[in-house]
Amino acid sequence: MIVNTELEQKGNLFPSKIIKYTKDVDTLHFTTDNNVVLQVTVVRDSVIRFRYSTTGKFEKDFSYGVTVHASRGYSFLKVSEEKTHYIITTSKLICKVEKLSLQVSLYDAIDLKLINEDEIGFHWEESYEYGGDIVKMSKACQKAESFYGLGDKPVEVNMKGKRFENWATDSYAFGKNTDPIYKAIPFYTAIQDNKSYGIFFDNTFKTHFDFAHERRNVTSFWAQGGEMNYYFIYGPKMEDVVANYTDLTGKPHTLPPLWALGFHQCKWSYYPESNVKEITKTFRDLKIPCDAIYLDIDYMDGFRCFTWDKKHFPDPKRMVRELEEDGFKTVVIIDPGIKIDLEYDVFKEALDKDYFCKRADGPYMKGKVWPGECYFPDFTKPEVREWWSGLFQELIEDIGVKGVWNDMNEPAVMDVPNKSFPDDVRHDYDGNPCSHRKAHNIYGTQMARATYHGLKKYAYPKRPFVITRSAYSGAQRYTSTWMGDNVATWEHLAIANNQAQRMAMSGFSFAGSDIGGFAEQPQGELFARWIQLGVFHAFCRVHSSGDHGDQEPWVFGTEITDIVRKFVEIRYQLLPYLYTAFWNHINHGTPILKSLVLYDQEDVATHYRSDEFIFGDSILVCPILEPNSKGRRMYIPRGTWYNFWTDEVVEGGREVWVDADLDSMPIFIKEGAVIPKYPVQQYVGEKKFDEITLDVYYKEGKEKSQLFDDAHDGYDYKKGRYSLRTFKVTGKKNELILQQHKQGKFDAEYTNFNIVFHNLPFKITSVQIDNVVVEVNKSNTTQFQSITVDKEFTELHLFGK
Ligand code: MIG
């Protein structure tokens, strides 16, 4: 056993030798002679859970992070005992547990190569102050190993060499490397020797991660309390690691309504009503597509949740209806702090029913937020969540609000040094009473969960839409998210890019930044560049603080307005493509954004790339991150790509210069892709159209793409009323075949596809659709030829020379 005396001197304790092991269906218990128990559960062939007790007894097994819907069930557990260790084998993994030290190592079951091994492994320190242990794990870090994920950390995509803390924190105007900020997502993926694995440390206490920062060849993670309880998730492909983690912690319960993937405009704050109307009218007048308008805290009466300031909003129901008639969905903010006011029914009811959080010795947890002194519901109690859900009835069912935005749920408290609750505050934690040390990181997620259930109930038969600031692993089941209070600087544009990619790699794809920056005001150029990036994030919203001036698309002059319109229109054209990516996300856990390392891990040149990413399956995007740019150098991943603007062919696996004046940005399409596009609309559902476009990019060889469609709202898709079209492109020297296979019973309104062919290397001489020769206009050049076909075609065959 490697016992480090220096560590011992610091009060660390270590497991001693295994004296006993037991086995049931999918779980093993190894007990040491100092009462440490290691529980190993094979969750699936590529997922193993490791859980340690230092007392011989485990806590009740409860997790907010892991969903009951996760795929589980491993029926055949193979264990063997060797002289020095035990061996557990699945079809994907071999796990060794050392008898003398309880150290674990994991190997690929096929090539038998090492994936990951404990350095010291599990050790702990007893906590005199709080009881229990500070639980620690250290693992060997390989020389070329890299690390990704961990939620919203505002750092480069690869985290090697850095150390982080997870403690949800209100971080106004955070900066590059600020840590921690709003979220606590204790999951990372690593890659070494072309093998990717992930570790989900399911512990809601304050957790720490060190990626070869303190010691070059060691990676470690530890928590201030609770159990050492982690899931080891093996790929070997990173995309599968992320998909498996997303399965474990949950995919979004419902597809978003399609409008939620449109463009959103927000401000702290638009009021009174006339101001809101002026904003929405300007969008329509200037023909900038927009689907959602937000009301920040000033719509309320003295910041009391679930009330309206009747002076500024005399008739909210009428206003919301009128906005909706113009295509605008109203989203309102709801904070956790409930104003102490006995005349206020929400406060009174929660007080009477004993729903507020209390301090250790009984007084209420009192804290100052926007409404002044507040109490805070204990969202970790099922009964409180149920009550909270019910509060949305009037707002959603009666007034017609379509989405709710949960802010300040870290939880944030003003004018106190730690910006949150003190440690001693008590929480129910779903029947596992505990202090705030354990509940802090989950508080925001449980609030968003309760909000989600309220919206789901009262918006029915429409889909709910929720957005949250704080989140723990699993929050993606209920809500979308934004990154909090960023700043209108070029550096923050890069941070937003990294954060959105990082969140997607952390199982949370429905995320975006405050476009343009929340604090301070951007120059028009920065705003335009930020819009260009933002339209490629799943959640696309402009938001800013009123203290720093206006931030609507038209306040920077007509040049910028035109650029914003151009890119928002691209977003609206790509809605069916994004919706399909979302469908894959909720079905297979596929991240909607893919950092290059996740896209092509085999190419080590991608391991340290942060700027470029793949949007969906086949669009490569790279934002312009510097002022006065005429273009930039960027890495094109391996394969052949088409410049979106010019159709110019680029061979990847290298860096290239790409032109991008202010009205452009580097966008590339993968060869062989079929990209579905809607006509431009000012909002989702504005137009009925009878055809949509399919952009087909020639490839010599084969490639598949998909198009998902359904009613764009409601739940019929869960009953099979959707369509999933798979397009297969097969390109040969003088031929191109486009085959379609359709699944599902949904019939879209449009009847035709307008198929546009890009970069055919031949001149079309004849065309067959489902084996019938059709007449087409052959006079054009080889590029950009298009054909309109019935959407139910099964095979389209182009012949040429
Ligand atoms: O203390 O509601 O991050 O988006 O506009 C500030 C006002 C409270 C912080 C949020 C921001 C929101 C603002 N809120």
| pLDDT confidence of residue 4 | 60
Buried b (16+ CB within 10 A) or exposed e, 348-364: eebbeeebbbbbeeeeb
Quick one: pLDDT at residue 25?
79
Last residue of a domain, one of 176, 203, 235: 235
CA-wise closest residue to 531 among 541, 521, 519: 541
Considering the domain architecture, whether residues 10 and 101 belong to the same structural domain is answered as yes
Same domain for 758 and 707, yes or no, is yes
Residue ranges in 226-265 assigned as alpha helix (H): 238-249
Q: Is the pLDDT of residue 536 over 80?
A: yes
Which pLDDT score, from 0 to 100, does residue 8 have?
Answer: 74
Lowest mean pLDDT among 60-69, 158-167, 487-496, 779-788: 779-788
What are 68's strand-pairing partners? Answer: none
CA 332/CA 413 separation, integer angstroms: 21
Please tell me the distance from the alpha carbon of residue 742 to that of residue 728, in angstroms, as a whole number. 11
pLDDT higher than threshold 90 for residue 74 = no
Structural domain includes residue 218: yes
Q: Give the tens place of pLDDT for each residue, 303-336.
A: 999 999 999 999 999 999 999 999 999 999 999 9
Which atom from ligand 1 is nearest to the alpha carbon of 296?
2
At residue 785, the pLDDT reads 82
Ligand 1, from 181, 267, 268, 405: best to mutate by most atoms within 8 Å of Cβ? 268
Q: Whose CA is nearest to atom 13 of ligand 1?
A: 268
Report the separation in Å between the CA atom of 181 and the middle of ligand 1, taken as the mean of its atom positions.
14
For the Cβ of 407 lying below 6 angstroms from any atom of ligand 1, the answer is yes
Tell me: pLDDT of 34 over 90: yes
305 lines ligand 1 (CB under 6 A): no
Q: Is the pLDDT at 362 greater than 70, yes or no?
A: yes
Nearest Cα to Cα of residue 656 among 671, 670, 666: 666
Tokens matching residue 254: 């419902």
Q: Of all atoms in ligand 1, which is nearest to the CA of residue 370?
A: 1
Ligand 1 proximity of 266 Cβ (cutoff 6 Å): no
Other beta carbons less than 10 A from residue 175's beta carbon? 14
Q: What is the pLDDT of residues 611-646, one digit of tens each?
A: 999 999 999 999 999 999 999 999 999 999 999 999
Q: Tell me the CA–centroid distance for residue 208 and ligand 1, in Å.
A: 27
Q: What length is written for the chain? A: 801
Residues annotated catalytic, as ranges: 407, 410, 485
Residue 266 to residues 394, 402, 542: CA-CA distances in angstroms?
Answer: 22, 14, 6
How much distance in Å is there from the Cα of 518 to the middle of ligand 1?
A: 9
Does any domain span residue 633?
yes
DSSP letters of 641-693? Answer: EEETTT--EEE-SEEEEEE--TT---EEEETT-EEEEPPP-SSTTS---SEEE
- Ligand 1: centre distance to CA 486 (Å): 11
Final residue of a structural domain among 605, 639, 670: 670
Q: Is 174 in the pocket of ligand 1 (CB under 6 A)?
A: no
Query: How many angstroms separate the CA atoms of 145 and 211, rounded?
Result: 10
Domain assignment of residue 454, yes or no: no
The alpha-helical segments, DSSP class H, found in 333-486 are 345-353, 382-390, 436-459
User: Helix and strand tally (H, E) in the chain?
Assistant: 12, 52
Measuring from atom 5 of ligand 1, which residue has the nearest CA? 268
CA distance linking residue 540 with residue 536, whole number of Å: 8
405 Cα nearest atom in ligand 1: 4
Separation of CA 269 and ligand 1 centre (Å): 10
pLDDT of 781 strictly over 50: no
Same domain, 74 and 209: yes
Is the C-alpha dihedral spanning 608, 614, 620, 623 positive or negative? negative
What average pLDDT does range 571-578 have in this prediction? 98
**Same-domain check for residues 709 and 789:** yes
Q: Is the CB of 485 under 6 A from ligand 1?
A: yes
Please choose, from the candidates 633, 632, 601, the residue with its C-alpha nearest in 3D space to the C-alpha of residue 614: 601
CA-to-CA separations, 8 to 51, 102, 118, 222, 790, in angstroms, rounded: 22, 17, 17, 16, 73
Closest atom of ligand 1 to 268 CA is 5
pLDDT digits (tens, 9 = 90+) for 406-451: 999 999 999 999 999 999 999 999 999 999 999 999 999 999 999 9
Distance in angstroms (rounded) separating the CA atoms of residues 634 and 429: 47
Do 122 and 82 share a structural domain?
yes
Atom 12 in ligand 1: which residue has the minimum CA distance? Answer: 268
Backbone angles phi, psi at 113, to 5 degrees: -85, 150
Dihedral Cα 533, 537, 539, 544, nearest 10 deg: -20
Domain identity same for 630 and 760: no
Task: Encode pLDDT of 230-255 as tens digits.
Answer: 999 999 999 999 999 999 999 999 99
Q: Ligand 1: distance of its center to the CA of 374 in Å?
A: 17
Percent of the chain, pLDDT > 70?
A: 98
DSSP state of 305: T
Question: Does 671 sit in the ligand 1 pocket, CB within 6 Å?
Answer: no
* 333 Cβ below 6 A of ligand 1: yes
Q: Which atom of ligand 1 is nearest to the CA of 267?
A: 5
Q: Which atom of ligand 1 is nearest to the CA of 484?
A: 3
Q: What is the number of the ligand 1 atom nearest to the C-alpha of 469? A: 3
Number of separate domains in the chain: 3
Q: In what order do the strands lie in the sheet with 367-369?
A: 338-339, 372-375, 367-369
Instruction: For residue 614, give the CATH number of its domain.
Output: 2.60.40.1180
Q: Residue 801's pLDDT band (boundaries 50, 70, 90)?
A: confident
| Centroid of ligand 1 to alpha carbon of 407 (angstroms) | 7
Answer whether residue 2 shows pLDDT above 80. no
> Same structural domain for residues 215 and 85?
yes
3-state secondary structure 551-578: CCCCCCCHHHHHHHHHHHHHHHHCHHHH
- Nearest to residue 4, comparing CAs of 220, 302, 226? 220
Residue 477 DSSP code: G
Beta bridge partners of 304: 301
Is 528 within a domain? Answer: no
C-beta separation of 576 from 678 below 8 A: yes
Going by the DSSP 8-state scheme, the letter that residue 461 receives in this structure is T
Q: Where are the beta strands (DSSP E) in 142-291?
A: 146-149, 163-166, 183-184, 187-192, 195-201, 207-211, 218-223, 228-234, 263-265
- CA dist., res. 19 & res. 32, Å (int): 5
pLDDT at 288: 98
Contacts of 719 (CB under 8 A, 6+ apart): none
Cα→Cα distances 467→516, 535, 751, Å: 19, 17, 35
Q: Tell me, yes or no, whether 25 and 102 share the same domain.
A: yes
Amino acid identity at 538:
A
Residue 117 shares a structural domain with residue 44:
yes
Q: How much distance in Å is there from the Cα of 264 to the middle of ligand 1?
A: 16
268 lines ligand 1 (CB under 6 A): yes
- CA-to-CA separations, 211 to 113, 141, 594, in angstroms, rounded: 22, 8, 22
Rounded-to-10 torsion of CA 316, 322, 327, 331: 0
Considering the domain architecture, whether residues 211 and 74 belong to the same structural domain is answered as yes
Q: pLDDT per residue over 656-688, tens digit each?
A: 999 999 999 999 999 999 999 999 999 999 999
Mean pLDDT, rounded, of the chain? 96
The pLDDT confidence band at residue 777, using thresholds 50, 70 and 90, is low
CA–CA dist 483, 154 (Å, integer): 9
Model confidence at 75, pLDDT cuts 50, 70, 90, reads low
**In angstroms, what is the span from residue 743 Cα to ligand 1's centroid?**
44
Q: Is 240 in the pocket of ligand 1 (CB under 6 A)?
A: no
Residue 1 has pLDDT above 50, yes or no: no
Give the C-alpha separation, 520 to 58, whole Å.
50
Give the separation between CA 473 and CA 242, rounded to whole angstroms.
Answer: 12
Question: In this structure, is residue 697 part of a structural domain?
Answer: yes
Residues 726 and 695 in one domain: yes
> Which is nearest to 773 in space by CA: 747, 750, 757, 796?
796
Task: Return the ligand 1 atom nearest residue 266 CA.
Answer: 5
- Of the candidate ranges 65-79, 113-127, 305-319, 463-477, the one whose mean pLDDT is the lowest: 65-79
Mutate to test the pocket of ligand 1, among 407, 409, 413 (most ligand atoms within 8 A of CB): 407
Return the closest-CA partner of residue 239 out of 598, 546, 513, 481.
Answer: 598
CATH value at residue 57: 2.60.40.1760
657 within 8 A of 231, measured Cβ to Cβ: no
What residue type is 540 in one-letter code?
A: C
Indicate whether residue 484 lines ligand 1 (CB < 6 A). Answer: yes
Kindly list the distances between the CA atom of residue 569 and the CA atoms of 79, 511, 541, 610, in Å, as whole numbers in the listed order: 58, 20, 14, 26
703 lines ligand 1 (CB under 6 A): no
CA distance 402 to 395: 9
Q: pTM for the complete prediction? A: 0.97
CA distance 121 to 104: 7
- Structural domain includes residue 466: no
Residue 358 has pLDDT above 50, yes or no: yes
* Residues 700, 759: Cα–Cα separation, whole Å: 11
Look at residue 770 and tell me whether its pLDDT is greater than 70: yes
Final residue before a domain boundary, out of 206, 235, 264: 235
Arithmetic mean of pLDDT, 566-590: 98
Is the CB of 297 within 6 Å of ligand 1?
A: yes
Kindly report the number of other CB atoms within 10 A of residue 3's CB atom: 13
pLDDT, tens digit, for every residue of 714-767? Answer: 999 999 999 999 999 999 999 999 999 999 999 999 999 999 999 999 988 889
Q: Which long-range contacts (CB under 8 A, 24 or more apart) does 73-80 make?
A: 73/26, 73/44, 74/26, 74/42, 74/43, 74/44, 74/45, 75/25, 75/26, 77/23, 77/25, 77/26, 77/28, 77/42, 79/23, 79/28
Assigned token pair, 62: 């409860």
- Measured from the CA of 412, which atom of ligand 1 is nearest? 1
Q: What is the DSSP letter of 733?
A: T
Mean per-residue pLDDT for 174-179? Answer: 98
> Which stretches does DSSP call E strand in 268-335?
292-295, 329-334
Q: Which domain holds residue 633?
A: 593-670
Whether residue 522 lies inside any domain: the answer is: no
* Ligand 1 pocket mutation pick from 485, 486, 513, 514 by most atoms within 8 angstroms of CB: 485
Instruction: Verify whether ligand 1 is closer than 6 Å to residue 182 (CB atom).
Output: no
* pLDDT reading at 783 higher than 50: no
- Considering the domain architecture, whether residues 28 and 132 belong to the same structural domain is answered as yes
In a domain, 725, yes or no: yes
Q: By C-alpha distance, which of 156, 139, 158 is closest to 148?
A: 158
Beta bridge partners of 149: 188
Q: And the tokens for 360? A: 């250790």
Rounded to 5°, the CA angle 150-152-155 comes to 85
